[in-house]
Amino acid sequence: MKALSPDEIYQAIEEIPGWQLVTSDIPAKEARQRTELRKKYEFATFEDAMDFMAVAAGHISSVDHHPRWENTWRTVTVWLCTWAAGHKPSRLDIELAKFLDSLYSRYGQRKTITHEAELDRDR
């Protein structure tokens, strides 16, 4: 699997509104970083957030491309990168981001959170 070039990443981000390019440390003895796409989805209820993750899990398993994600109350944060591409975004990540955005559009509350301050303000 080939990592996207920086130009391809920025072009792809235009296809997936609300996703941000971030870097984070990879837990290991040696200091390493990964480049990821990140998005936060906010739901009306905790149950909607859990349902989103459960429905997404079926698709994620079928395409065998697993995100790093977490749930905090009614917010689901997703980080996407491809291990086999050196922990950088690949076309698989763009396709998974599009799937998650499409799935999210089925839920009533369509607000996405892109900044920590916005998340804190809304609580």
Give the count of domains, the chain. 1
Q: Which domain holds residue 30?
A: 6-116
Residue environment code for 62-93, b if the CB has 16+ CB neighbours within 10 A, otherwise e: eeebebebeeeebbbbbbbbbeebebbbbebb
Note the pTM of the prediction, 2 decimals. 0.84
Output DSSP code: residue 3. Answer: B
Distance of CA 118 to the CA centre of its chain: 17
Q: What is the CATH number of the domain that holds 64?
A: 3.30.1360.20
Tell me the residue type at 108: G
Output DSSP code: residue 74. Answer: T
In-domain check, residue 1: no
In-domain check, residue 73: yes
In-domain check, residue 40: yes
pLDDT tens for the chain, residues 1 to 123: 899 999 999 999 999 999 999 999 998 878 889 999 999 999 999 999 999 999 999 999 999 999 999 999 999 999 999 999 999 999 999 999 999 999 999 986 545 444 444 444 444
